[in-house]
């Protein structure tokens, strides 16, 4: 009789999750203040128009775009807005780990019309912030994101929320971010200090520009402040 091996997914330690959602776990920290600065800059980026949807992407994998999008969603919810975070990375999704939620159903189910919106939206532990996970990984993510069903979904969700934040795949890896950036009101490019190559940044910007993305700006992630920086002088030793 053959034995079946059962593989269990490792759960992220609570400490690791808390560090990813620093805007929620340590709201008085220097990093949390930086996310509030990002929120302010986004609010001022288009003073004459209402931003209803923002896309977060990066040039390459591992630059922190998912952590940045999640924490930005948190600080907008803390401001009193009704926010929806959508994991639009239907290739290597992560937001369900960040918020400790199930990913049995999600965006891919909505785009293939298997489920209704109200059955897919998940509440988070943060007041005012809801989540749509990626759902099962489909064979054709780019086609789904570029579909008319996606257009209709965005229009319907914009009627329910003050702000929608998309966590999209890296722009140089696949075409998904380019497709979705054309549908979002604004796009933010996340860069990793010291590792993102200048050539990759230029190529990412050109790719987004070719899709007529409205690039609001960039986030420089993992930048190390010196101890004599004025943020340390003002905020003290908050982690």
- One digit per residue, the tens of pLDDT, for the chain of length 239 reads 444 443 344 455 444 554 589 999 999 988 899 999 999 999 988 777 889 999 999 999 989 999 999 999 999 999 999 999 999 999 999 999 999 999 999 999 999 998 999 999 999 999 999 999 999 999 999 999 999 999 999 999 999 999 999 999 999 989 999 999 999 999 999 998 877 788 989 999 999 999 999 999 999 887 765 555 444 444 444 44
Count CA atoms within 13 Å of residue 175 on its CB side. 10
Q: What is the pTM of this model?
A: 0.86
The structure tokens listed for 134 are 């990626």
Structural domains of the chain, with CATH? 55-223 (3.40.50.300)
Collect all residues with Cβ–Cβ distance below 8 Å to 70 and sequence separation of at least 6: 20, 21, 85, 95, 98, 99, 167
pLDDT, tens digit, 9 for 90 and up, residues 218-232: 998 877 655 554 444
The structure tokens listed for 71 are 């924490």
Tell me the C-alpha distance between 86 and 130, whole Å: 9
The reported pLDDT for the residue numbered 197 is 83
Tell me the C-alpha distance between 123 and 84, whole Å: 9
The structure tokens listed for 100 are 């400790």
The reported pLDDT for the residue numbered 20 is 84
- Whole-number Cα distances in Å, 76 to 33, 73, 94, 200: 12, 5, 20, 29
Collect all residues with Cβ–Cβ distance below 8 Å to 128 and sequence separation of at least 6: 77, 78, 80, 81, 82, 83
């Amino acid at each position: 009789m053959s034995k079946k091996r059962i593989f269990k997914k490792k759960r992220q330690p609570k400490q690791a999750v808390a560090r990813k959602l620093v805007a929620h776990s340590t709201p008085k920290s220097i990093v949390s203040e930086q996310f509030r600065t990002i929120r302010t800059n986004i609010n001022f980026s288009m003073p004459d128009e209402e931003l209803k949807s923002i896309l977060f992407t990066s040039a390459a994998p591992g630059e922190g775009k998912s952590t940045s999008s999640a924490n930005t969603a948190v600080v907008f919810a803390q401001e009193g807005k009704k926010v929806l975070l959508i994991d639009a990375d239907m290739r290597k999704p992560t937001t369900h780990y960040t918020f400790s939620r199930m990913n049995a159903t999600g965006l891919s189910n909505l785009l293939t019309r298997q489920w209704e919106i109200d059955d897919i939206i998940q509440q988070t532990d943060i007041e005012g912030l809801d989540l749509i996970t990626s759902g099962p990984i489909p064979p054709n993510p780019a086609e789904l994101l570029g579909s008319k069903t996606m257009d209709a979904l965005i229009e319907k969700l914009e009627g329910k929320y003050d702000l929608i934040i998309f966590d999209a795949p890296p722009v140089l890896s696949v075409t998904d971010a380019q497709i979705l950036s054309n549908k979002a009101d604004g796009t933010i490019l996340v860069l990793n200090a010291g590792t993102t190559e200048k050539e990759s940044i230029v190529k990412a910007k050109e790719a987004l520009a070719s899709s007529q993305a409205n690039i609001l700006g960039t986030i420089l992630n993992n930048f190390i402040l010196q101890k004599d920086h004025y943020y340390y002088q003002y905020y003290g030793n908050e982690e």
